[in-house]
Chain A
Amino acid sequence: MAVDYYKILGVARDAKPEAIKAAYRKLARKLHPDLNPNDPKAKERFQEINTANEVLSDPESRKKYDKYGEQWQRGEEYEKAQQAQQRSRAGGSYGDFGGQGAADYADLFGDLFGGRGGRAPKFRGQDLSAELHLDLRAAAKTHKQTLTVNGKAIRITVPAGVANGQTIRIQGHGGPGANGGPNGDLYLTFRIAPDPNFSRVKNDLHATVDLDLYTAILGGELMLDTLDGTVKLTVKPETANGAVVKLKGKGYPIYKHEGQHGDLLVTFRVKLPTGLTEEQRVLFRQLADQPKTSTP
């Protein structure tokens, strides 16, 4: 069989229910998503042990699993089909389906419908994981987004300022519970695509702006694109290549702190002029011949 629930829980095939319960609890303590934040591997393993426990802790499903293997849930209908096929034949054996005889099936159905004492255990549905891809500008605004998870549409509000890799839990939107158990949760991880103009560090945005030599030396003004519009930026005279100016409050929105923003840090990259005319060359030579001024 492809998936061995006994192996997943690390118990023998004849393990008693108490041993299965103990093994599940031990693994659950190790792999539960609450104890392994942002660890998709642990989450996946936890889902496996959950499924294994759901099957093996219920005597009926365990019996079916022992008999039919991974496809135990379809075993019954498979068997009925086998029986119908058998009836249509004149005698013969039960075919090759596990080599079972009629008496064995009678035992199985006797157990299945014989009534089990006590309340059926409730199982919480599986937790699901999904990724939501946004660009930096979209993630900077609180907005509604509709997702389709397992065929169901879910409308969520994405708060401004979510970070790349950040995971939020949406309660009750995971797999359905069994026997009246609650639904699992949906863990949604945000993937924020890089922006061509801004990079984000915490709540600050960084941008690089090209500056022509003349503006760098003489100062001036330029229009700068920010997340919430264009601003006029004053360039001080004698601005050095690599100089950084901070625009307070023009950075990224701070998650769950409405109206608060980080800063925008603009790095100037001074571009030297190319393709000089002869006249410009002369002027630069004249400048070069001037007494040297101090350099920072």
Chain B
Amino acid sequence: MNTENLIAIDVFCAQQEVETSFVLALHERGLVTITQMQMRYFVELEQLPRLEQLARMHYDLDINLEGIEALSHMLERVEGLQRELRELGERLGRYEPGSDT
């Protein structure tokens, strides 16, 4: 397995000053995906921004895991709606004068 794109959870936790149990709890709730290899847990580099965001919610904003779970779903919806709005705006722009090419 390619390990170049993985970061060990204990390394992440030490750098970010978060508990390993917190990351494991996120994994249990399906909010991040972790991989186990030779008794160590890893997370894909691509997921780091997400993991950091969830850690900020918990440690900076005092939001518990249930709250984080609910917020994650709401944020996904918000981002989806924003994306849709942007796309509709672009589609609408095609019919505005001077944008027929």
Task: Identify the A interface with B (CB < 8 A).
Answer: 25, 28-29, 32, 34-35, 37-38, 124, 163-165, 169, 171, 194, 196-202, 206-208
Contact = CB atoms under 8 A, between A and B. Distances in A.
Interface in B46-70: 49, 52-53, 56-57, 60-63
A28 B61 contact: yes
Contact of A32 (B61, B78, B99): B61
List 3 A-B pairs, minimum CB-CB distance, nearest first. Answer: A34-B53, A199-B94, A29-B61
A20 to B, nearest CB: 15
B63 A201 contact: no
Contacts of B4: none
15 contacts: A25-B62, A32-B57, A32-B61, A34-B56, A34-B57, A35-B57, A37-B79, A171-B49, A171-B52, A196-B101, A199-B90, A199-B94, A199-B101, A200-B90, A206-B94
Nearest to B61: A29
Contact of A25 (B52, B56, B61, B90): B61
Given A29-B63, A169-B49, A199-B93, A35 B71 contact: yes
B86 interface: yes
Of the listed residues B49, B56, B82, B101, the one surrounded by the most CB atoms of chain A closer than 10 A to its CB is B101
B89 to A, nearest CB: 8
B98 to A, nearest CB: 9
Q: Dominant SS at the B interface?
A: helix
Contacts of A201: 87, 90-91, 94
B86 A165 contact: yes
A102 to B, nearest CB: 42
Contacts of B61: 25, 28-29, 32, 35
Interface in B66-84: 71, 75, 78-79, 82
Nearest to B57: A34
A66 B39 CA distance: 54
B61 to A, nearest CB: 5
A164 B91 contact: no
A208 B63 contact: no
B71 to A, nearest CB: 7
B63 A37 contact: no
Most chain B CB within a 10 A radius of its CB, from A35, A38, A196: A35
Contacts of A165: 86
A208 B75 contact: no
